[in-house]
């Protein structure tokens, strides 16, 4: 009976070890493009975009990716869909051959990504845009360098809007139709409660000069922001107040994603992936076997994806990484 109990304990420990040490597997992508963003409509169909107009598509949940014929030659920084049909790509021209054109422009689709048309940002000048974000009603904002701030008006035109700050802005997220937060350089976080009509500076405890690269909300109260020097901040007040969490690393983090208020991931330089099951109270580094910069992390269903430099696509969960 004693030996049986010992074996049972060993088996339980083995199962626990297996379930808490899931593996990120690198896919063969046949591209060395710098992959900047990933988006899924559902558990089957998704897009990945990157440098040189790279645009990959999957219809089998990320088991395989097909490179679409280039419709632009410029860098694609972001994919954002406001509904199943209307989507936007944030693009950036090559600094050496942009001429008198703006640094940034958008591509728009109204048929779910089959066809795209170019949309210039009014009065953008040389301002480099870093991120676009929308509420559930399709109200959109674009942010960027030196506090660049643009709003999508009712006529479908992106026009300059008063900016809350003059720092570099790097990301923004709506919690619902009225509430949103934006993050950027100098550890700055701003929030709105009136769909962007006004913005207020958040209280950030443990604030540093670190650049905040990404913000994510699991619900209307709980959110996380990550940035340079391994900085991670959490809010439980819908973006009004933020407190620093201990990531245990100093590598720059570029994106964060939570499946719920407890389990989340953050990704960054040198193949870094951090995982938490405690809402960020404890972060643990996961093995990736890659050293490239990771730009984006996303979970859809039980599968996770992280993309980055050198055509890197990492897959987490049950999938065939061919």
- Residue written as tokens 């996380």? 224
Distance CA 181, CA 143 (A): 12
Would you identify the CATH topology of the domain 26-316? Answer: Methylamine Dehydrogenase; Chain H (2.130.10)
Backbone dihedral angles phi then psi of residue 16, each to the nearest 5 degrees: -60, -40
CA 62 to CA 105: how far, in whole Å? 28
Instruction: Tell me if 119 sits within 8 A of 158, measured CB to CB.
Output: yes
pLDDT digits (tens, 9 = 90+) for 145-203: 999 999 999 888 999 999 988 889 999 999 999 999 999 999 999 999 999 999 999 99
Question: Is the pTM for the entire model greater than 0.85?
Answer: yes
Question: Which residue do the tokens 């929308």 mark?
Answer: 134
pLDDT tens digits, one per residue of 258-289: 999 999 999 999 999 999 999 999 999 999 99
* Domain ranges (residues) in the chain: 26-316
Q: pLDDT tens-digit profile of 179-192?
A: 999 999 999 999 99
Quote the CA–CA distance of 148 and 159 in Å, as a whole number.
Answer: 11
CA 152, CA 40: separation in Å to the nearest integer?
23
| 314 touches 295 (CB < 8 A) | no
Query: 106-140: per-residue pLDDT in tens?
Result: 999 999 999 999 999 988 888 899 999 999 888 99
């Amino acid at each position: 009976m004693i030996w049986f109990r010992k074996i049972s304990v060993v088996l339980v420990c083995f199962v626990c070890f297996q379930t808490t040490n899931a593996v990120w597997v690198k896919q063969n992508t046949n591209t060395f493009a710098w992959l900047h963003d990933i988006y899924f409509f559902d558990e089957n169909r998704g897009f990945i975009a990157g440098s040189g107009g790279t645009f990959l598509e999957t219809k089998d949940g990320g088991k395989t990716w097909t490179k679409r014929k280039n419709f632009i030659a410029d860098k694609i920084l972001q994919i954002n869909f406001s509904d199943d049909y209307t989507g936007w790509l944030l693009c950036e021209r090559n600094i050496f051959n942009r001429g008198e054109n703006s640094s940034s422009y958008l591509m728009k689709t109204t048929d779910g990504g089959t066809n795209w048309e170019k949309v210039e940002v009014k009065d953008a000048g040389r301002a480099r845009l870093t991120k676009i974000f929308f509420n559930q009603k399709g109200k959109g904002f674009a942010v960027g360098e030196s506090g660049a701030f643009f709003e999508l008006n009712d006529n479908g035109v992106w026009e300059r809007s008063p900016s809350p700050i003059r720092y570099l802005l790097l990301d923004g997220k709506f919690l619902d139709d009225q509430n949103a937060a934006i993050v950027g350089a100098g550890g700055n976080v701003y929030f709105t409660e009136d769909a962007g009509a006004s913005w207020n500076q958040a209280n950030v405890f443990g604030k540093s000069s670190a650049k905040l690269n990404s913000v994510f909300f699991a619900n209307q109260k709980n959110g996380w922001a990550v940035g340079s020097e391994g900085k991670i901040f959490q809010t439980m007040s819908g973006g009004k107040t933020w407190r620093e969490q201990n990531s245990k690393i100093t590598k720059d983090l570029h994106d964060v994603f939570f499946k719920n208020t407890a389990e989340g991931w953050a990704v960054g330089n040198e193949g870094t992936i951090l995982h938490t099951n405690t809402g960020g109270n404890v972060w643990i580094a996961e093995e990736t076997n890659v050293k490239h910069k990771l730009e984006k992390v996303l979970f859809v269903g039980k599968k996770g994806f992280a993309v980055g430099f050198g055509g890197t696509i990492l897959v987490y969960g049950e999938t065939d990484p061919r």
